[in-house]
Amino acid sequence: MGEDARELVSRYTDLLLAVVKGKPDLQPCLKHCLECGIIFPTHFRNAGRHDLCCPFGCRQERRKKRSSQRSLAYYQDEKGRKLQAMKNNKYRQKKELGTGKRSETKASLVSAAPISASEYDEKMVEHVRMATSIFEGRKVSRQEVLEMLAAEKKRQHSIGEGEKVDYGVRDLNENTS
Protein backbone atom coordinates (compact mmCIF):
# COMPACT_ATOMS: atom_id res chain seq x y z
CA MET A 1 0.00 0.00 0.00
CA GLY A 2 1.42 3.38 -0.99
CA GLU A 3 1.96 6.29 1.37
CA ASP A 4 -1.05 8.19 -0.05
CA ALA A 5 -3.31 5.18 0.45
CA ARG A 6 -2.11 4.78 4.05
CA GLU A 7 -2.91 8.43 4.71
CA LEU A 8 -6.40 8.05 3.23
CA VAL A 9 -7.07 4.90 5.27
CA SER A 10 -5.81 6.62 8.41
CA ARG A 11 -8.00 9.66 7.73
CA TYR A 12 -11.01 7.43 6.96
CA THR A 13 -10.49 5.49 10.21
CA ASP A 14 -10.13 8.67 12.28
CA LEU A 15 -13.33 10.13 10.80
CA LEU A 16 -15.25 6.88 11.28
CA LEU A 17 -14.16 6.57 14.92
CA ALA A 18 -15.02 10.24 15.54
CA VAL A 19 -18.56 9.68 14.20
CA VAL A 20 -19.09 6.60 16.36
CA LYS A 21 -17.41 8.03 19.48
CA GLY A 22 -20.54 9.92 20.52
CA LYS A 23 -22.80 6.93 19.78
CA PRO A 24 -21.73 3.95 21.91
CA ASP A 25 -24.64 1.84 20.60
CA LEU A 26 -22.98 1.93 17.14
CA GLN A 27 -19.58 0.66 18.30
CA PRO A 28 -20.53 -3.05 17.90
CA CYS A 29 -21.31 -2.25 14.25
CA LEU A 30 -17.65 -1.41 13.52
CA LYS A 31 -15.79 -4.44 12.21
CA HIS A 32 -12.25 -5.18 11.05
CA CYS A 33 -11.96 -6.64 7.54
CA LEU A 34 -10.57 -10.18 7.53
CA GLU A 35 -8.50 -9.47 4.42
CA CYS A 36 -7.10 -5.94 4.72
CA GLY A 37 -7.84 -5.07 8.37
CA ILE A 38 -9.59 -1.75 7.64
CA ILE A 39 -12.41 -0.77 10.01
CA PHE A 40 -15.82 -0.43 8.37
CA PRO A 41 -19.43 -0.03 9.55
CA THR A 42 -21.83 -2.92 9.15
CA HIS A 43 -25.53 -3.42 9.81
CA PHE A 44 -26.76 -4.12 13.35
CA ARG A 45 -27.67 -7.70 12.40
CA ASN A 46 -23.96 -8.37 11.70
CA ALA A 47 -22.71 -6.84 14.97
CA GLY A 48 -21.86 -10.23 16.50
CA ARG A 49 -20.02 -11.58 13.47
CA HIS A 50 -16.24 -11.74 13.14
CA ASP A 51 -15.98 -13.20 9.62
CA LEU A 52 -16.78 -10.10 7.57
CA CYS A 53 -14.82 -8.43 4.79
CA CYS A 54 -15.00 -4.76 3.80
CA PRO A 55 -17.08 -3.58 0.83
CA PHE A 56 -14.03 -1.89 -0.72
CA GLY A 57 -13.06 -4.94 -2.79
CA CYS A 58 -12.12 -7.55 -0.20
CA ARG A 59 -15.67 -8.92 0.02
CA GLN A 60 -15.77 -9.59 -3.72
CA GLU A 61 -12.29 -11.13 -3.73
CA ARG A 62 -13.16 -13.43 -0.83
CA ARG A 63 -16.37 -14.48 -2.58
CA LYS A 64 -14.39 -15.36 -5.73
CA LYS A 65 -11.81 -17.28 -3.71
CA ARG A 66 -14.50 -19.28 -1.88
CA SER A 67 -16.29 -20.02 -5.16
CA SER A 68 -13.07 -21.34 -6.68
CA GLN A 69 -12.49 -23.53 -3.62
CA ARG A 70 -16.03 -24.98 -3.89
CA SER A 71 -15.62 -25.64 -7.63
CA LEU A 72 -12.26 -27.29 -7.13
CA ALA A 73 -13.64 -29.53 -4.39
CA TYR A 74 -16.69 -30.46 -6.48
CA TYR A 75 -14.82 -31.31 -9.67
CA GLN A 76 -12.31 -33.44 -7.77
CA ASP A 77 -14.93 -36.01 -6.75
CA GLU A 78 -16.37 -38.66 -9.09
CA LYS A 79 -19.73 -36.97 -9.73
CA GLY A 80 -18.07 -33.64 -10.61
CA ARG A 81 -15.54 -35.23 -12.97
CA LYS A 82 -18.35 -37.02 -14.88
CA LEU A 83 -20.34 -33.80 -15.17
CA GLN A 84 -17.28 -31.90 -16.43
CA ALA A 85 -16.55 -34.62 -19.00
CA MET A 86 -20.15 -34.37 -20.27
CA LYS A 87 -19.86 -30.58 -20.57
CA ASN A 88 -16.56 -30.85 -22.43
CA ASN A 89 -18.00 -33.40 -24.88
CA LYS A 90 -21.02 -31.20 -25.50
CA TYR A 91 -18.74 -28.21 -26.17
CA ARG A 92 -16.54 -30.23 -28.56
CA GLN A 93 -19.59 -31.44 -30.51
CA LYS A 94 -20.90 -27.89 -30.92
CA LYS A 95 -17.48 -26.69 -32.03
CA GLU A 96 -17.13 -29.52 -34.60
CA LEU A 97 -20.58 -28.80 -36.01
CA GLY A 98 -19.91 -25.07 -36.11
CA THR A 99 -23.08 -24.25 -34.15
CA GLY A 100 -21.33 -22.59 -31.22
CA LYS A 101 -22.54 -19.01 -30.87
CA ARG A 102 -19.92 -16.35 -30.63
CA SER A 103 -20.84 -13.69 -28.16
CA GLU A 104 -19.57 -10.13 -27.97
CA THR A 105 -16.77 -9.62 -25.55
CA LYS A 106 -17.39 -7.67 -22.40
CA ALA A 107 -14.93 -4.99 -23.50
CA SER A 108 -16.80 -4.32 -26.74
CA LEU A 109 -20.10 -4.02 -24.86
CA VAL A 110 -18.60 -1.60 -22.37
CA SER A 111 -16.97 0.55 -25.04
CA ALA A 112 -20.21 0.64 -27.07
CA ALA A 113 -22.26 1.98 -24.17
CA PRO A 114 -21.79 5.64 -23.23
CA ILE A 115 -20.54 6.02 -19.67
CA SER A 116 -22.58 8.48 -17.65
CA ALA A 117 -20.97 10.54 -14.90
CA SER A 118 -23.92 9.73 -12.62
CA GLU A 119 -23.22 5.98 -12.58
CA TYR A 120 -21.81 4.53 -9.37
CA ASP A 121 -21.02 1.03 -8.19
CA GLU A 122 -24.36 -0.29 -6.90
CA LYS A 123 -22.83 -2.26 -4.03
CA MET A 124 -20.95 0.80 -2.85
CA VAL A 125 -24.11 2.96 -3.10
CA GLU A 126 -25.96 0.38 -1.01
CA HIS A 127 -23.15 0.32 1.58
CA VAL A 128 -23.14 4.13 1.82
CA ARG A 129 -26.96 4.06 2.17
CA MET A 130 -26.81 1.49 4.97
CA ALA A 131 -23.97 3.25 6.84
CA THR A 132 -25.64 6.67 6.52
CA SER A 133 -28.93 5.20 7.77
CA ILE A 134 -27.16 3.78 10.83
CA PHE A 135 -25.25 7.00 11.58
CA GLU A 136 -28.25 9.29 11.12
CA GLY A 137 -30.69 6.97 12.90
CA ARG A 138 -33.20 7.08 10.03
CA LYS A 139 -33.82 5.33 6.74
CA VAL A 140 -31.86 6.97 3.93
CA SER A 141 -33.08 6.28 0.42
CA ARG A 142 -30.91 5.26 -2.52
CA GLN A 143 -31.96 8.51 -4.26
CA GLU A 144 -30.65 10.60 -1.34
CA VAL A 145 -27.29 8.83 -1.55
CA LEU A 146 -27.09 9.39 -5.32
CA GLU A 147 -27.94 13.08 -4.87
CA MET A 148 -25.31 13.37 -2.13
CA LEU A 149 -22.68 11.73 -4.36
CA ALA A 150 -23.62 13.93 -7.32
CA ALA A 151 -23.36 17.06 -5.14
CA GLU A 152 -19.96 15.92 -3.85
CA LYS A 153 -18.76 15.30 -7.39
CA LYS A 154 -19.75 18.86 -8.39
CA ARG A 155 -17.71 20.26 -5.48
CA GLN A 156 -14.50 18.62 -6.63
CA HIS A 157 -11.97 20.95 -8.19
CA SER A 158 -10.54 20.23 -11.58
CA ILE A 159 -6.94 19.16 -11.92
CA GLY A 160 -4.85 22.19 -12.67
CA GLU A 161 -1.28 23.35 -12.79
CA GLY A 162 0.82 23.07 -9.66
CA GLU A 163 0.55 20.97 -6.56
CA LYS A 164 -2.76 20.98 -4.72
CA VAL A 165 -2.86 20.66 -0.94
CA ASP A 166 -5.31 18.27 0.70
CA TYR A 167 -6.26 20.40 3.69
CA GLY A 168 -7.50 17.45 5.76
CA VAL A 169 -4.16 15.66 5.37
CA ARG A 170 -2.26 18.92 6.02
CA ASP A 171 -4.24 19.47 9.26
CA LEU A 172 -3.62 15.87 10.37
CA ASN A 173 0.11 16.27 9.67
CA GLU A 174 0.23 19.56 11.61
CA ASN A 175 -1.54 17.99 14.60
CA THR A 176 0.85 15.01 14.71
CA SER A 177 4.00 17.17 14.47
Q: How far apart are CA 34 and CA 52, in angstroms?
A: 6
Reported for 124-132, long-range contacts at CB under 8 A and 24+ positions apart, including other chains, are 124/55, 125/149, 127/55, 130/41, 130/43, 131/41
| Structural domain includes residue 129 | yes
Which of the two residues, 136 and 101, has the higher pLDDT score? 136
| Structural domain includes residue 136 | yes
| Structural domain includes residue 130 | yes
Q: According to the model, what pLDDT value does residue 110 have?
A: 41
Tens-place pLDDT, residues 26-78: 888 889 898 888 888 888 888 888 889 988 888 899 999 999 999 888 888 88
| Structural domain includes residue 145 | yes
| Structural domain includes residue 166 | no
Q: How far apart are CA 75 and CA 71, in angstroms?
A: 6
Percent of the chain with pLDDT over 90: 8
Q: State the total domains in the chain.
A: 1
Q: Which domain holds residue 129?
A: 118-156
